[in-house]
Amino acid sequence: MKKILKKILKLFSLELRRLNVEQRFNNFKYVYKSKVKSSPVIFDIGANEGQSIERFKSMFPSATIHAFEPDVDLFSILKKKYGKDKNIVLNNLAVGNKSELKNFNVHARSETSSFLKLKRGSNWLKERAAQYDTTPDHFTTKIVEVEVVTIDQYAKKYNIDFIDILKSDTQGFDDKVIEGCKRLIENKLISFLELEIIFDDVYENYFSFSDYEKLILPSGYRMVGLKTSGSDLYSSINFFADVLYFNDITSKENEY
Using CA atoms, how far apart are residues 169 and 152, in angstroms rounded to an integer? 18
Looking at domain 2-95+151-253, its CATH architecture is: 3-Layer(aba) Sandwich (3.40)
Q: Where are the domains of the chain?
A: 2-95+151-253
> Which tens digits make up the pLDDT trace of 97-154?
999 999 999 999 999 999 999 999 988 899 999 999 999 999 999 999 999 999 999 9
> Which tens digits make up the pLDDT trace of 26-73?
679 999 999 999 999 999 999 999 999 999 999 999 999 999 999 999
Maximum CA extent, the chain: 61
Rounded to two decimals, what is the model's pTM?
0.86
pLDDT at 16 exceeding the cut of 80: no
Using CA atoms, how far apart are residues 22 and 55, in angstroms rounded to an integer? 7
The DSSP line for 154-206 is HHHHTT---EEEEEE--SS-HHHHHHTTHHHHHTT-EEEEEEEEE-SSSBS--
CB atoms within 10 A of CB 22: 13
Nearest to 165 by CA among 149, 176, 181: 181
| pLDDT of 231 | 72
pLDDT bin (cut points 50, 70, 90) of residue 205 is: confident
Range list of β-strands (E), the chain = 41-45, 64-68, 88-91, 94-95, 100-107, 140-149, 163-168, 190-198, 221-229, 240-247
The β-bridge partners of 64 are 41
| pLDDT of 207 | 80
The helix or strand, by DSSP H or E, that contains position 119, with its residue range, turns out to be none
